[in-house]
Structures are given as C-alpha cells and as structure tokens.
Amino acid sequence: MKTVKVSSLIGGEIVAEDIILGNTVLIPKNTILNIEYIKSIEELGVEKVYIESTDNDVVENYLLDIITKESMKEKIRNTLEEHMYKNSLNLDRLVYVANKIIDYLRYKIKNEKLKYTIIEHNADLYEHTIQVCAIAVSIAIKLDLNEREIYNIAIGSLLHDIGLRYTTVNYKNCIIDNLSPNDIFEYKKHTIYGYIALEEIEEIESEVRNLILFHHEKLDGSGFPLKYKDLDISQRILSVCDAFESNISGMGCIRKSKEETMTLLDSVSGKEYDNNIIILIKELF
C-alpha cells in the first residue's frame, strides 16, 4: 500500500483504504479507479489516497480504462446488431457513447502528458471500433478541432465499419489482396455499404457519412473505393487511426506489433497518410 496524490492517478489503480470525506465513504476499498472517480474526488478536494502497490509500481495506462472500454463496447455491439437485425439505429445510445468518450478523453489528454499502452488484441469489430474512436478523438483534441468536428469524428469512428456487417468475407488477420477477386471486390464495398445503410437517417450528418465512405482512402489516391485524394482533416485523422489500429489487431491485414505498425506507417508517411497525424500517434503511444 502507498499514498499517492490524486493529481498523479491515471486510472486502473486499486483503492487500498476507503476514500472518505467527513463521515462519508466516497469510494470503498478494493475499487478499481477510473477517470470518472478520479475527477469526482479531485473536484471534492481530496488530495491524497491510499492505493495498492503493484509489481514494480507499474500501472498500465490505457486511453480508456478497461471498465469504461468494455461498457462502451457492449453498447456499440448492441447498437450495430440492432441496426443489422431490426433496421433501426439507437441514436441516443450512439450519442451517449460518443459524448462519454469525448468527455473522458478531453479530461485525460488535458491532465496527462504520459504515453499510453496500446491494447494489442485479436480482430474484433467492436473492440476495433472503440479503439479507433478513442485514438481518433484524442488526435482531434490534440489538434484543437472544434466541438462539432470532434463530435462528428467520434460518431464516424463508431460507425466507420458498420458496412462489414453486410459482408461475409473473412477479413480477420489475413492479407485482403490474397483473397479471391470476388472476395476482394466484396470487402472493398464495405465502405459503400456503410454509407448507404445510413443514408436515410437524417440525424447522421453528411460529414459523418463521408467519414465512413472515405476511411480507406489515401492521400495519393491508392485507397478505396473511390481513389479519392482530397481528404479533409477529419477524414485524414480517421484513415490514419483506422490503419494504425487495424494493423495492431488484424482487421483486414495480418496482425503486427506496435513497433511493426509504426515502421509501416513511417514508410508511407506523407504519401498515403498525413505525417502530422502519424507523429501525434507516436506521441500518444
């Protein structure tokens, strides 16, 4: 057990003794701290807390703590499955997740100057969706984009691969170009499927639909489905963040380590992807 300043907490620590204010237990012993808890006790004026010591006193620092990530992932899973099977999109749930992630990361990015641990995981649509959203929103915050742009990036990231729900092609941990010509063609239509699936939903802005349509496009015109080059800042953010997380998890490619992924992105920086965004990803991870 050790005493730490609340200002130094990063989320993921285990409370060793009840956190008490006056006669009220704010957070009981053995609770795993997340950013919301930390913000609350900080706002109440708590300066120090007791936490359990860990091996070498190292705590993994993720962009989203595990509890928050899993909760958001389940909500996105339910949202995308309802859209697929019931042809309805729960916009309230989608907006809740987007705003939750934005608020969480705005606080975290503002108050921390640390590097984060990237979660290396097997290809999973919902895990990938949340991870891409967290990374893209973090980059947007660092670039000081306006509120609307950050919100649209969050919504677009959460929906960017919705079109994969309409294809049966195996895209996990494989080289897409090694598939049959028909499967390659089908896979590369998933951005169009996603765009069309949301076309009739008035609440989804055109900027969000374009993020979905263009998230595999590249600055040199070598992307798909339209070989579009003139990507705006939001589209460039999502294309880089999706490429980064896809290589980490094996979504539409072979899984790679963080180091291998960064080497790959460095090799096409300024050509296929925005160099400044790649630099910011390096600063994050």
**pLDDT tens-digit series, residues 179-237:** 999 999 999 999 999 999 999 899 999 999 999 999 999 999 999 999 999 999 999 99
Which residues have C-beta within 8 Å of that of residue 83, sequence separation ≥ 6?
89, 90, 162, 165, 197
Q: What is the pLDDT of residue 10?
A: 76
For the stretch 153-179, what's the b/e string if a residue is b when 16 or more beta carbons lie within 10 angstroms of its beta carbon?
bbbbbbbbbbbbbeeebebeebeeeeb
Q: What is the pLDDT of residue 259?
A: 94
Mean pLDDT of 50-77: 80
Q: Contact at 8 Å (CB) between 83 and 133?
A: no
On the question of pLDDT at 112 being above 80, the answer is no
Tokens of 179: 């598939």
Domain with CATH 1.10.3210.10 in the chain: 66-284
Domain with CATH 3.90.105.10 in the chain: 2-57
Q: Cα–Cα–Cα angle for 173, 176, 190, nearest 5°?
A: 100
pLDDT digits (tens, 9 = 90+) for 259-284: 999 999 999 999 999 999 999 999 99
On the question of pLDDT at 60 being above 70, the answer is no
Q: What is the pLDDT of residue 53?
A: 78
- Write phi, then psi, for 133 (nearest 5 degrees): -60, -45
Q: What is the mean pLDDT of the chain?
A: 92
Q: Contact at 8 Å (CB) between 66 and 80?
A: no
* CATH number, domain 66-284: 1.10.3210.10
Residue with token string 């589209």? 235
Say which amino acid occupies 208.
V
CA distance 192 to 86: 20
Q: Contact at 8 Å (CB) between 254 and 175?
A: yes
Residue 121 Cα to chain centre, angstroms: 13
Mean pLDDT of 106-135: 86
Q: For residue 39, count CB atoms less than 10 angstroms from its CB and return exposed for 0-12, middle for 13-18, buried for 19 or more.
A: middle
CATH class held by domain 2-57: alpha beta
